[in-house]
């Protein structure tokens, strides 16, 4: 059976599908592949790692019916070196042959018997503005954890509260909390951060996209053009994040965001080889930044600041500071301190509904 396709479109879809395959060697072979199903003049592409599912389709010139699972990585590498234009795919019993003029590649097939298709979602599709996603997700995504041993922390916690919704993310060392007006009946749920990051990458010029979810299947689906992205919701008890937020402060620092970012990067040059820790100390009308090197040497830098309240000395992992400052666009940021061993609150001057918390590093005096 032979199929004719445009190389560039097939390569684009195959590259995207491969992002949702399983990379675990212990998983079934079929999960490491992309499932292709031909019916009439369409080819459907499916991929999954059991937590995420992906589905798209593309038109073909000739009608065909088939079901195969292909290994995408070698095929995408092969396709990327072909010229733009049409390719021919010849489907055999145990292999496919991809050819363009005199260039030919033979690729084995995986077993299709145990490939799981995404569950059927019968709930109604809802619209959501892409501007809402672009403005909110980046403020919390960077605080999610990458540690899969604690899956609950790898997601964003969406908490519905009347007309408002809270978006919360934490990795145990920092926390981002954003309170927004509810755009639609978005469910209270914990959605994997990696999945939402992929959705953001896929949004181009769309002003709105659709989504639907199933409480029964514990699944959410986003629909973008010809693409469908499915994700399992993370189940479990989210940590009581409200208890981490300080109820009082003794010192407030107002700083220029871009200058603080530059100064932290400069100080990190001397801190990263030892501890990644930067010590922040308030002076009269400036802050002092010092790397914790353990060598008795000081590479001190200073930054002008508006300071009210008690003198403070507190230490942070500089990577957390840089992450926060890179994901905030306001000119000024506000730091609220209670003690050297208490969570520090970071705010954006123009985002009253957002706060970020970084746990300090204990330092011996």
Over the stretch 91-109, which tens digit does the pLDDT of each residue have? Answer: 998 999 999 999 999 999 9
Pull the structure tokens for residue 345: 């609150």
Sheet with 52-59: list strands edge to edge: 2-6, 86-91, 95-100, 103-110, 66-70, 34-39, 42-48, 52-59, 227-232, 219-224, 208-214, 126-129
CA distance 108 to 251: 65
**CATH 3.10.150.10 domain position(s) in the chain:** 2-110, 126-242, 246-358
Q: Are 42 and 13 in contact (CB under 8 A)?
A: no
The answer, yes or no, to whether residue 294 has pLDDT greater than 70, is no
Which of 66-70, 228-232, 295-299 has the least mean pLDDT?
A: 295-299
Reported CATH class of domain 2-110 = alpha beta
Give the homologous superfamily in CATH for domain 246-358: DNA Polymerase III, subunit A, domain 2 (3.10.150.10)
The C-alpha atoms of residue 183 and residue 161 are separated, in whole angstroms, by 12
Query: 31: how many CB neighbours lie within 10 A of its CB?
Result: 21
Find, among 150, 133, 146, the residue nearest to 201 by Cα.
133
- Specify the pTM: 0.89
pLDDT tens digits along 216-235: 889 999 999 899 999 999 99
Closest CA to 230 of 41, 50, 22: 50
Alpha helices in 19-71 (DSSP H): none
Report the top-level CATH class of 126-242.
Answer: alpha beta
Q: In whole angstroms, what is the distance from residue 81 CA to residue 245 CA?
A: 53
CB contact burial 210-226 (16+ within 10 A = b; e otherwise): ebbbbeebebbbbebee
């Amino acid at each position: 059976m032979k199929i004719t396709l445009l190389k560039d479109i097939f390569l684009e879809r195959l590259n995207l599908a491969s992002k949702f395959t399983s990379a675990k060697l212990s998983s079934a072979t079929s999960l490491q592949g992309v499932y292709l199903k031909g019916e009439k003049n369409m080819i459907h592409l499916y991929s999954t790692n059991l937590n995420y599912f992906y589905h798209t389709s593309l038109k073909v010139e000739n009608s065909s019916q088939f079901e195969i699972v292909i290994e995408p990585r070698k095929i995408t590498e092969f396709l990327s070196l072909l010229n733009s234009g049409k390719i021919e795919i010849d489907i055999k019993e145990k292999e496919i042959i991809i050819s363009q003029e005199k260039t030919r590649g033979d690729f084995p097939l995986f077993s299709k018997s145990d490939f799981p298709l995404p569950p059927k979602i019968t709930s109604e599709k809802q619209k959501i503005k892409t501007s809402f996603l672009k403005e909110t997700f980046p403020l919390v995504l960077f605080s999610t954890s990458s540690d899969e041993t604690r899956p609950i922390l790898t997601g964003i916690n969406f908490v519905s509260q009347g007309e408002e919704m809270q978006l919360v993310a934490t990795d145990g060392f920092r926390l981002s909390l954003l309170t927004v007006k509810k755009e639609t009946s978005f469910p209270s749920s914990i959605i994997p951060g990696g999945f939402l990051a992929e959705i953001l990458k896929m949004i181009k010029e769309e002003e709105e996209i659709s989504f639907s979810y199933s409480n029964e299947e514990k699944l959410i689906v986003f629909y973008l053009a010809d693409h469908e992205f499915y994700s399992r919701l993370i189940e479990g008890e989210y940590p009581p994040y409200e208890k981490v937020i300080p109820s009082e402060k003794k010192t407030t620092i107002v700083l220029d965001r871009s200058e603080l970012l530059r100064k932290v990067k400069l100080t990190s040059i001397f801190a990263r080889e030892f501890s990644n820790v930067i010590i922040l100390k308030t002076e009269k009308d400036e802050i002092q930044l010092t790397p914790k090197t353990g060598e008795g040497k000081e590479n001190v830098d200073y930054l002008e600041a508006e300071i009210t309240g008690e003198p403070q000395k507190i230490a942070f992992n500089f990577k957390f500071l840089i992450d926060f400052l890179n994901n905030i666009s306001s000119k000024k940021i506000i730091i609220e301190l209670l003690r050297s061993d208490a969570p520090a609150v970071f705010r954006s001057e123009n985002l009253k509904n957002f706060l970020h918390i970084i746990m300090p590093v204990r330092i011996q005096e």
